[in-house]
């Protein structure tokens, strides 16, 4: 099988082409930096030939030694894959050829046969760009295939071009650039060392020599002994000496500019491009800020109001299933495990699916249209002020879904301190696991407040406030960390603004499906497992009221009420409830709750919420089924819908007042309660101390913030 690399600038549709060719479903977006790792897949051609395709991370160049460029370089030269690539398909954005051809030249310099995929040719034509493809292709010396990857247009032609080059690689060699004398000299000076040290059979290519010439001398010496000295003599990094890397870049662009001038015609855009006309409004100094806040507010209102009918339906369904299970099974331990453990966990997962889907529908539309990348323009000032690097933007954005992929996305950051700082604040972005908690608390204490101005739900506002709180605390933490634990760093923001596009339904459905699957399967199984464990902790040891005491209470009820009267039934029910509460208090979970109560009492939480907090330390969403069990003990009525029931029990038992609810939400917005995130931090920083540091500082901060809210609120006269 032939090894074929798929290289290209970020956001050129490289991953889309990879998915089209392999039938895979890697995540595609409209902002640069989606692919951090290398994906592999097999493409079967029309004639039955099979290619092993390697999707490389998008990069603008091959000489900067950032992680994604190193992955791309190593894969192309065969240092990570068995044998070098037989061919590279370089995906080119047809509307932005010059910068894209720069990468194509660099790949060709490595001595690898190249085919250019002129992608998004339809968008280029819509902009009025005219490309003389046959003559441009002849001038460069490699086939260029116009295509529209997302519509599958041009795939057959690409296959043919690749087959042609594979059959006759010698015929399609891109002539090396005419390097300026200083560059040529430097290349020839390092080649012998490289050829002998790297054991290259055919001799080092110009590209390989230039890669090392751009490298840090210490790094080079570590990988190729003796190279560092040669490099230091050749590449003065300061002063006015010949700068090899800069000169090589200028030489490549001079060549590209001559092609562009001859075979590429831009139409005169009298009033700017269509994208720019949209930007004029959307990124307007103050209108832009208004639109940004408006878009966020709309999103959260949609999450809260739009999801309600679907949540009620899921709720009703789950309650019906629970009732049915109760009617079918005899009252036994098994029934309790199934209904209070498993079914409660399943309900707590499924009931939040509509909200998660609406949230991600909104994010997917914003992302695919190109708006999300532009929010960098709106918020970067804030980030720069506190010392967050420009490159932190995409990882922080991903952390709103989940901190784990967000932290993994920091791999694109070259500066270690920048990366560490971003990892330390990423868990503060309100992830989707916090949404169920916010929803439950809002339903318990803010649901009955009248809508503001008749249409804005206060719950939606409070939740939007929690998202903002997380972001603000992240900024403050970054500010402090930059001046204490993580000094230095500060990599630049260089973010390409993608063109505005209509969101593509296929992409959005794909994104939603991925999200839904992850939530139901992965998150769901954790929730169900934990809710069974918590059920067990709450049910054993099974010690209710002392039998003598219980008998006394029953006697008293029987003495003071008439037989068969409603009062007697009610009285007996109260006894049952007290029995159940005693059982909970005596259980393992109850004792644990009592153990932590002194710590959390100043925040307004009693030992029962303490049980919920303990459960939430494994996974935040578990709070919902846990509180459902805590407050549902001894109550037989399952007539209400699930979240509504838990919320009502919370409110009626006096466990949660609006002030306590706010305190609880603030705690969840800040606290580090996710074991997978801690594990990811430990893996990515390769240190337990940073992982523990995050646990300590975030939970400490959460405790203090919660304390401030509760005690401050009490001082102001709230309960």
Partner 1 sequence: MAHDVNIKAIAVLDSVLTAPVCTSLADLPPGRSGAVHDVRVRNALGDRLVELGFTVGAPVRMLRRAPFGGPVQVQIRDFVLSLRRSEARQIQVDVQGEPET
Q: Pick from 40, 496, 514, 549 the residue near partner 1 by CB under 8 A.
A: 496
Quick check: helix, strand or coil at residue 43? strand
Q: How many CA atoms lie within 13 A of 219 on its CB side?
A: 10
Q: Does 191 bind partner 1 (CB under 8 A)?
A: no
Phi, psi of 51 (to 5 degrees): -115, 140
Q: How far is the CB of 121 from partner 1 (least distance, A)?
A: 14
Q: How far is the CB of 15 from partner 1 (least distance, A)?
A: 19
Give dist(CA 507, CA 525) in Å, integer: 26
Q: Does 22 bind partner 1 (CB under 8 A)?
A: no
Task: Identify whether 34 is preceded by a cis peptide bond (ω within 30 of 0).
Answer: no
Q: How far is the CB of 398 from partner 1 (least distance, A)?
A: 18
Q: Pick from 376, 413, 462, 557 the residue near partner 1 by CB under 8 A.
A: 376
Q: 110, 119 in Cβ contact below 8 A?
A: no
Number of residues that bind partner 1 (CB under 8 A): 43
Quick check: helix, strand or coil at residue 277? helix
Q: How far is the CB of 97 from partner 1 (least distance, A)?
A: 7
Strand partners for 118: 92, 146
Task: Identify whether 43 is preceded by a cis peptide bond (ω within 30 of 0).
Answer: no
Give dist(CA 258, CA 256) in Å, integer: 5
Q: 469, 444 in Cβ contact below 8 A?
A: no
CA distances from 615 to 543, 589, 643, 676, 697 (A): 21, 9, 18, 14, 20
Q: 493, 389 in Cβ contact below 8 A?
A: yes
- Region from 380-388, 444-452, 588-596, 703-711 binding partner 1, contact rule CB under 8 A: 380-388
C-beta closer to partner 1: residue 253 or 617: 253
Q: How far is the CB of 10 from partner 1 (least distance, A)?
A: 11
Q: Pick from 18, 51, 102, 438 the residue near partner 1 by CB under 8 A.
A: 102
Residue ranges of alpha helices (H) inside 198-243 are 206-213, 217-223, 227-234
- Region from 305-313, 338-346, 371-379, 640-648 binding partner 1, contact rule CB under 8 A: 371-379
Residues 205-264 within binding reach of partner 1 (CB under 8 A): 214, 237-238, 243, 245-246, 249-250, 253-254
Task: Supply 64's token pair.
Answer: 């900067």
CA distances from 293 to 51, 81, 296, 461, 700 (A): 47, 47, 5, 12, 30
> How many other CB atoms are found less than 10 A from the CB of residue 497?
17
C-beta closer to partner 1: residue 378 or 408: 378
C-beta closer to partner 1: residue 108 or 283: 283
State the residue for tokens 């769901």.
Answer: 524
Q: Does 367 bind partner 1 (CB under 8 A)?
A: no
C-beta closer to partner 1: residue 31 or 607: 31
Q: Pick from 96, 410, 539, 587 the residue near partner 1 by CB under 8 A.
A: 96
Q: Pick from 174, 384, 408, 508 the residue near partner 1 by CB under 8 A.
A: 384
Residues 162-181 within binding reach of partner 1 (CB under 8 A): none
Give dist(CA 253, CA 247) in Å, integer: 10
Residue ranges of alpha helices (H) inside 90-131 are 97-109, 121-126
Q: Does 492 bind partner 1 (CB under 8 A)?
A: yes
Q: Does 416 bind partner 1 (CB under 8 A)?
A: no
Q: Does 479 bind partner 1 (CB under 8 A)?
A: no
Q: Are strands 144-146 and 114-119 parallel, antiparallel or unpaired?
A: parallel
Q: Does 122 bind partner 1 (CB under 8 A)?
A: no
Q: Does 413 bind partner 1 (CB under 8 A)?
A: no
C-beta closer to partner 1: residue 376 or 445: 376
Q: How far is the CB of 495 from partner 1 (least distance, A)?
A: 5
Residues that bind partner 1 (CB under 8 A): 60-61, 63-64, 95-99, 102, 214, 237-238, 243, 245-246, 249-250, 253-254, 266, 275-276, 279-280, 283, 285-286, 289, 376-378, 380-381, 384, 390, 492-497, 499
């Amino acid at each position: 099988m032939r090894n074929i690399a798929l290289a290209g600038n970020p956001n050129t549709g490289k991953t889309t082409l990879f998915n089209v060719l392999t039938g895979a479903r890697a995540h595609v977006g409209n902002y640069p930096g989606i692919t951090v790792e290398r994906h592999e897949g097999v493409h079967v051609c029309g004639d039955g030939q099979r290619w092993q395709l390697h999707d490389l991370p998008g990069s603008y160049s091959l000489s900067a030694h950032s992680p994604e460029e190193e992955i791309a370089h190593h894969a192309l030269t065969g240092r990570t894959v068995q044998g070098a690539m037989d061919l590279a398909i370089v995906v080119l954005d047809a509307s932005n050829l010059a910068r894209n051809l720069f990468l194509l030249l660099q790949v060709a310099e490595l001595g690898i046969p190249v085919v250019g995929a002129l992608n998004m040719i339809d968008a280029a034509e819509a902009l009025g760009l005219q490309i003389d493809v046959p003559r441009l292709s002849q001038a460069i010396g490699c086939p260029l295939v116009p295509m529209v990857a997302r519509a599958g247009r041009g795939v057959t032609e690409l296959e043919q071009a690749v087959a042609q080059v594979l059959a006759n690689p010698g015929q399609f060699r891109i002539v090396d650039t005419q390097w300026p004398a200083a560059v040529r000299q430097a290349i020839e000076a390092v080649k012998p060392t490289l050829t002998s040290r790297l054991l290259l059979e055919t001799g080092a290519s110009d590209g390989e020599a230039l890669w090392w010439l751009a490298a840090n001398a210490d790094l080079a010496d570590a990988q190729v002994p003796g190279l560092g000295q040669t490099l230091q003599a050749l590449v003065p990094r300061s002063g006015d000496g010949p700068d090899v890397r800069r000169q090589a870049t200028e030489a490549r662009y001079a060549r590209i500019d001559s092609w562009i001038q001859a075979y590429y015609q831009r139409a005169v855009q009298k009033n700017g491009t269509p994208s720019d006309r949209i930007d004029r409004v959307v990124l307007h100094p103050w209108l832009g800020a208004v639109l940004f806040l408006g878009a966020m507010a709309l999103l959260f209102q949609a999450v809260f109001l739009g999801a309600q009918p679907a949540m009620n339906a899921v709720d009703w369904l789950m309650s019906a299933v629970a009732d049915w299970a109760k009617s079918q099974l005899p009252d036994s331990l098994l029934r309790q495990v199934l209904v209070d453990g498993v079914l409660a966990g399943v309900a707590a997962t499924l009931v939040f699916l509509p909200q998660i889907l609406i949230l991600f529908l909104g994010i997917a539309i914003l992302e695919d249209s190109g708006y999300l990348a532009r929010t960098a323009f709106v918020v970067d000032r804030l980030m720069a002020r506190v010392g967050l690097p420009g490159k932190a933007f995409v990882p922080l954005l991903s952390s709103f879904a989940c901190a784990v992929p967000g932290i993994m996305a920091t791999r694109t950051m070259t500066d270690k301190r920048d990366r560490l700082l971003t990892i330390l604040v990423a868990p503060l972005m309100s992830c989707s696991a916090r949404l169920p908690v916010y929803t439950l608390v809002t339903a318990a204490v803010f649901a009955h407040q009248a809508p503001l101005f008749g249409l804005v739900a206060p719950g939606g506002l409070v939740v939007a406030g929690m998202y903002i709180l997380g972001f603000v605390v992240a900024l403050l933490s970054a500010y402090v960390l930059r001046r204490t634990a993580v000094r230095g760093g500060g990599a630049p923001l260089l973010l390409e603004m993608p063109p505005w596009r209509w969101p593509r339904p296929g992409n959005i459905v794909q994104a939603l499906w991925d999200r839904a699957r992850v939530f139901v399967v992965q998150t769901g199984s954790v929730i169900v497992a934990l809710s069974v464990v918590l059920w067990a902790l709450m049910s054993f040891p099974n010690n209710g009221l002392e039998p003598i005491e219980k008998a006394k209470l029953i006697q008293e009820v029987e003495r003071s009420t008439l037989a068969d009267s409603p009062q007697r039934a009610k009285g007996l029910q109260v006894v049952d409830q007290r029995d159940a509460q005693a059982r909970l208090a005596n259980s393992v979970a109850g004792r644990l709750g009592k153990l932590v109560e002194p710590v959390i009492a100043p925040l307004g939480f009693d030992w029962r919420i303490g049980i919920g907090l303990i459960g939430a330390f494994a996974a935040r969403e578990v709070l919902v089924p846990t509180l459902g069990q805590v407050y549902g003990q001894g109550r037989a009525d399952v007539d209400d819908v699930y979240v509504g029931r838990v919320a009502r029990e919370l409110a009626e038992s006096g466990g949660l007042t609006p002030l306590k609810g706010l305190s609880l939400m603030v705690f969840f917005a800040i606290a580090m309660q996710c074991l997978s995130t801690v594990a990811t931090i430990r893996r990515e920083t390769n240190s337990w101390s940073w992982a523990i540091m995050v646990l300590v500082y975030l939970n400490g901060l959460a405790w203090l913030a919660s304390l401030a809210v509760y005690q401050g609120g009490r001082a102001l006269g709230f309960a």
